[in-house]
Amino acid sequence: MSRQSFVIIGNGPAANQAAESLRSQSSDSKITMLSKDSFRGYLPHLLPDFVSGSIGEESLYFRPHAYYKEKNIFLRLGQKAVGIDFSKRRIFLEHREVISFDGLIIATGGKPRIPEYYQLFEDLMLTLKTPQDAKLWISKLKSVDSILMLGGDLTSLSLTRALLKMGKTIQFIINEDSFWPIPYSEEIYKAVTQRLESKGVQVVHCNKIRRVTQIDENLIEVDTNTCTVRTGAIGAFFGLVPDVRFLVRSGLDIDRGILVDEFLKTRFEDVFAVGDCAQVYHPALRNYWVSIGYQNAATLGKIAASNLLGSHLEALVAPESILDVGGVKVNTSWWTEF
């Protein structure tokens, strides 16, 4: 019998933990990790600290190249999966290569979400998901002192905290959709506003951006339905969307992310999904949700690997409002930690 070939799509915390767990439980299998990014796996929650200069770039990465060699894990960076044929168990890569698999764990993570309305202004907005994004922020912050934050997700608040430490002036437009999966309410808006303002952030009360105009390299004018804001840079923080567009119409059930059962199994045999790209039903929320936070992702990666090898471990959903995000017990009320 030929040795089994496992493929992991992704290179984040969930993917790396899945690879490690597979190797520890299956010493002779072939393990391939596919990453569309050309850089090693990193810890996204540290990006705001990297932007502010609190930590160096090397601290972002959690595995040296030697690790993969030592574990006999075939890490293929800069190689993008563009389709999967689940019936034939084949993955199509952008450069036309086709890879077969016996077992598959999809851990493609998320990418910054820009609501359709704001996509018109996307070119004038900065996001913060990758080390490259962080470097853009670092470069921009050398020449601007004021930043307008749009959104309200976890990253926006972490970055706001980091920017305040740097002495930057922050204006904030709170977007209700950034609080998914929590039903947004006036109470949340007031609570977030109060916390932001107590730290010196100016909350701009408006519900529509009408126009965004770049006046010069370091000045952007934002017309809202209530006022005009002048700022040096705009950050867009509306949460993440699972990076699964290439799987649409593949046969998987995809809502915001890939729907999986409590064992992280997709509709297809020996195919699992974990991390920011997977969605599981949460009885307390009465909704599907994406479990966030790198430690959760790592835990899920471990469970998926075990289940792929024949275990039947259940991924317990976290209680509402309590999840581990970068060591901080928050999730559905992350702004309370601000």
* Gap between the Cα atoms of 333 and 338, Å rounded: 10
Count CB neighbours of 5 within 10 A. 17
Among 1, 28, 96, 316, binds other proteins (CB under 8 A): 96
Distance CA 253, CA 281 (A): 13
Of residues 208-227, those binding other proteins (CB under 8 A):
208, 210-211
User: Considering CB under 8 A, how many residues would be counted as binding other proteins?
Assistant: 25
Binding mask 62-91 for other proteins (x = CB under 8 A): --------------------xx--------
Task: Determine, following the binding rule CB under 8 A, whether residue 117 of this chain makes contact with other proteins.
Answer: yes
State yes or no: residue 254 binds other proteins (CB under 8 A): yes
The distance of closest approach from Cβ of residue 183 to other proteins in the complex, given in angstroms and rounded to an integer, is 9
> Contact at 8 Å (CB) between 313 and 303?
yes
Q: Which is nearer to other proteins, 197 or 255 (CB)?
A: 255
User: Per CB under 8 A, which region of 54-62, 152-160, 185-193, 250-258 contacts other proteins?
Assistant: 250-258
Tokens at 320, concatenated: 């509402």
Q: In whole angstroms, how close is the CB of 212 to other proteins at the nearest point?
A: 10
Which chain residues interact with other proteins by CB under 8 A?
82-83, 92, 96, 115-117, 119-120, 177, 208, 210-211, 248-249, 253-255, 259, 267, 281, 283, 286-288
